[in-house]
Structure 1
Amino acid sequence: MRRPFYLLFFLGVIALLSSAFVANDKGYEVGDTAADFKLKNVNGQMVSLGSLKAAKGFIVTFTCNTCPYAKLYEDRLVQLHQKYAAKGYPVVAINPNDVDLSPGDSFQEMQKRAKQKKFPFAYLHDETQEIAKLYGATRTPHVYLLTRTPGNELKVAYIGAIDDNSGDPEKVQKKYVEAALDNLIAGQPVSQNSTKAIGCTIKWRGNS
């Protein structure tokens, strides 16, 4: 008599696991807990979020050397880091592009670009593309703003674009990331926690 109950129970468990898998396959959403990672920085050292213990959070930005949109935002990323790193929110830039499809995004070219632009932040190579897939990044640039909880977890507080004008920083009217950071620093809820990322599509391995 109990068999139908157990059958329904196990089917329910399978359904829950399946739905969780599908959700994770789509990447993070606002409110999710972000997992740590370890990637190689342009200085040759391995960097993880956990190793930056003094940070209150991170401006994780998927970007690259070659995308015109990414280039337009390089100086703005530098400015974000200069303004917010001291307040506990450094930029952590990650290049996920497949080198075979985009040779200009090789590790050696990343090193050259970082030196040329004098990046004050970590510029990491996601060679396997696992972190971009984990986050659900699709564009360069694509921002995931993380904030550290009292329990030392990293929660996703904002996902999307840096601001509302990729082409001309002088004509920006809405600075999405800055507004979200100001909310977090003031201890307030993020008023706009997601926007559409505008940029080049990530060059995924096997999509040649």
Structure 2
Amino acid sequence: MIRNVIGSVLALTGATAAVWSPFRAWYDGRHGRDYAIDELFTGITDAKSEVIGSILLPFAFAALVAVLGVVLRSRLLVALAGLVVLGFTIFWMVRVGQAEGSLVISGDGTGLGDGVANAFGGGVLLLLGALVMSGRTRTHRVDRVDHGPRPTHPTLDGPPPVDDVTDEPRHPPQASTPYGAPTQPYDVPTWDPDRDGPPQR
């Protein structure tokens, strides 16, 4: 939680610095909003660009992605915003160096201005915010699987079932003994007059 708060503050600070940087001097007192976005691909000129089509456009897009990443607690989106800011800043420096022949850093208002420093600082803060953030907390949900009622009869491949109340093995009932002793049949010979003669009285 604390990491997300600190990372969010760094990310929002970096996004603010990146959006504010085109309104500062970038080179020889010329503001970043005066550089057209297409000049990064066709070559730097002295023509003044409209604000909506200036280098402010990719920085505003990066700030929007950073805010979305903070809301969703997505480290990937925040890092992407930082890479966009740093990428366009370095690309601009390469194109200006090609147009001017070299890049000059001085403190008298000539050469690279504080707008470039703001853009660099904003991109670095966005990357630091992505590193500090812990992102979303993933919770593992374990679904309980219902295997049905317990068997009430013994099985050949397991122990006897356990009684739910006493937790003791439940044995199958024994066959009841029939009442009385078992009787054994006897063969009674039949009377034959030829063999036994007349019956005795």
TM-score scaled by length of structure 1: 0.23
Higher helix content, 1 or 2: 2
TM-score scaled by length of structure 2: 0.23
Higher strand content, 1 or 2: 1
